Amino acid sequence: MLGKDNVEIDIIQAAEDKYLAGTYQAATGAQSDFDISNASGWSPDYQDPSTYLDIYKPSSGALLNTLGLTPASALTSAADKADYAKAAKAAGLDKFEELTNQAEAITTDTNARNKAFAKAEAYLLSTGVQIPINSLGGTPSVTKVVPFTGLKSWTGASSSRFDGMKMQSKPVTTSQFNKALKAWTAKRAEIAKEQDK
């Protein structure tokens, strides 16, 4: 897909123990031993953009080892910290952490918080230090589930439950979804207005 004129890929089949030691189980960036892999990923822990973006903060990011880095908080020697600061700066992660910290400081305005996190995410993607290869839940799909029926949540109730879900015989169209979204949004506004009384 990338084309041999751009990137040449050697696929190496490894024993499971070696594969896991260099990917999922790598405790430091130095132990990570791959260039392209689908052996790293992240699922949200809570309902806020920070759950996806904190993982690449150079001070404490949980998935920095997938970039060959170790969080600054785990380094002990002054020389290692100095080298790490240079590497994080060269990759643009220092600016990314600054943008992420600015977003996290916004605690009373959800729209402003989400916009600030979107800016941080756009910056991270522009650096190319990590290139997403797939997205679970964010990928286009075809469904026969009537829009906005059943339970759907990343937190609390599982998104895989079928309570209240309605099915239809044909796939949902864009116009059907948009019409249902408009009705759902209006109902949410009505409920919010009632609760404010």
CB atoms within 10 A of CB 32: 24
SS3 content of the chain, % helix, strand, coil (to 5): 45, 0, 55
pLDDT for 137: 60
pLDDT for 110: 92
Domain boundaries, the chain: 16-127, 141-197
**pTM score of the predicted model:** 0.61
Could you read off the pLDDT tens digit of each residue along the chain, which spans 197 residues? 556 677 777 777 888 888 888 777 777 777 777 777 666 667 777 888 898 899 889 888 888 887 788 888 888 888 888 888 888 888 889 999 999 999 999 999 999 999 999 999 999 988 888 776 666 666 667 889 999 887 766 555 555 567 788 999 999 999 999 999 999 999 988 988 888 77
Residues 166 and 149 sit within 8 Å (Cβ to Cβ) = yes
Q: List the alpha helices (DSSP H) in 54-167.
A: 78-91, 93-104, 110-127
- Computed from CA positions of residues 168, 43, 35, 90, in that sequence, does the dihedral angle turn out positive or negative? positive
pLDDT for 19: 81
pLDDT for 178: 93
Query: Token pair of 188, please?
Result: 């949410």
Residue 123 burial (CB < 10 Å; 0-12/13-18/19+)? middle
